[in-house]
Structure 1
């Protein structure tokens, strides 16, 4: 309403100013000038009032939207063929989403899967440091019933992947080598020394149960030695 009144006042002022230009008699000019000043004062006061009045902010249309939950996925299955490493992510009703809401971002050694607005939730699966390089342009993904299948094109089709990532392979190799004794070490050391070395390694790398078991075995072994000595 105030905006309309300001507009009307401005129109009145402009019209009176046009009349003032056309007026020839001094008395008429004075009357018009007085009326113009009065309307300009009213126009300025109304503008200042509107400027000082806090504006009501209309509620944003997005304010009423519920924020979606962000879920980081960690579980997946995988398989491989000569050409592809295949990753399978199971999510109920994922096949009902439009294709633009299910997509991957790929690099030579990483894969990120995004599933947006599935039952008001956003899902993300990130796999970094792939075991071997892939070819992004030849890779693709498909939505299946309650599942997304990602096909990562191998850069070297002659290699069979033993693990999905470098970290998984290093961890598995470390576990495999933890209790491994080199053949040359067996030749150089007597059996008793090899057993002691193995027990020490197991104690240092084992969990609390393993440490308790080794401590008990060590104690019983030492106790038996003392008993055998006393019997002699």
Structure 2
């Protein structure tokens, strides 16, 4: 502002001098200086005006403190159905207003916020959908006592669940540090090493997983008193167990092998895998057979 004022004063004095000058050379010099100062004043005026407009605009922008500090009650109760193309979610909520609902549809998530319902705010969210949707085709309709959300599937077909189901392993361990954990994910195994926890090292490993995983999509997150390992399945479906269960009880049917040896292996595996009651039963059967109290179950075999 001070610079603009000084330029105006200089211009006024130069114009006064121009009005009283007589000699052509002096008039030319004064005219040239007036043009230069006039152009400079124009630039300074533009900058000042722009700064003033920005300040006014900033004053007009309301800072919505309520929006920043707004809290929400989570809506966890809902029902849903589907056809080959769409999914409909029914959320029980009364007195919602269409203009007070914010919806965010993304290919793999849904986030819906209901504002100012009797002084409270509510939220319904699915952070990871089972499969992809088409956000631009999804919609929400408010009814008197419920809200209907229509999700358009990215590809036709049946969904087993709305949520993406990931296999998570929870390991109870305190004071682990993310940078001191080594993870090795392979298609059929997991190996995790925890270093320098109060001077000790720990290891968690599954050498043979039940089925294949996608190593590049698996992850580990360290929490204050536990570690969460997320395994992404190579194919959809339920696992009966994390570990691969090999059938140890299946007898070897090799034709060249002595059938008696196969039966003995079977009995041995049954004994090793069985509980205390099973072990007592097998031991008693063998003991009785050998003492002649009962017929030897293997006597008929050559």
Larger helix proportion, structure 1 or 2?
1
TM-score, normalised with respect to structure 1: 0.49
Structure with higher RCO (Cα < 8 A, 6+ apart)? 1
Larger strand proportion, structure 1 or 2?
2
